[in-house]
Amino acid sequence: MEELAKYAPILAPILIIQLILFIVAIIDLVRIEKTNGPKWLWALIILFINIIGPILYFVVGRRSN
C-alpha cells in the first residue's frame, strides 16, 4: 500500500486526464451525426483502449466538413 501511495502524485493527473478524455469523447460521439466508420466501433475503441482510444477518435474518427 505504501508503494501505491508513493506513486499517487504521478498517477492521479493521468487518471483525471483519462477520465476527461473518455467523457468528452463519448459525449461528442453521441452528439455527432456521422463518423469515419460505425459509431458502435468507435464506442468500443473509446471504452477499451484507455488514453489512446479517445485521442484516436478525435484525430481519425470525426468527419470534417
At 65, is the pLDDT very low, low, confident or very high (cuts 50, 70, 90)?
Answer: low
Sign of the Cα pseudo-torsion (16, 19, 25, 27, in order):
negative
pLDDT tens profile 8-54: 899 999 999 999 999 999 999 999 988 999 999 999 999 999 889 99
SS3 state at 62: strand
Pairwise pLDDT comparison (65 vs 49), residue with the higher score: 49
* AA identity, residue 55: I
CA–CA distance, 9 with 32 (Å, rounded to integer): 35
SS3 state at 35: strand
**How far, rounded to the nearest angstrom, does the alpha carbon of residue 42 sit from its chain's CA centroid?**
10
Shortest CA distance to 21 belongs to which of 55, 59, 63? Answer: 55
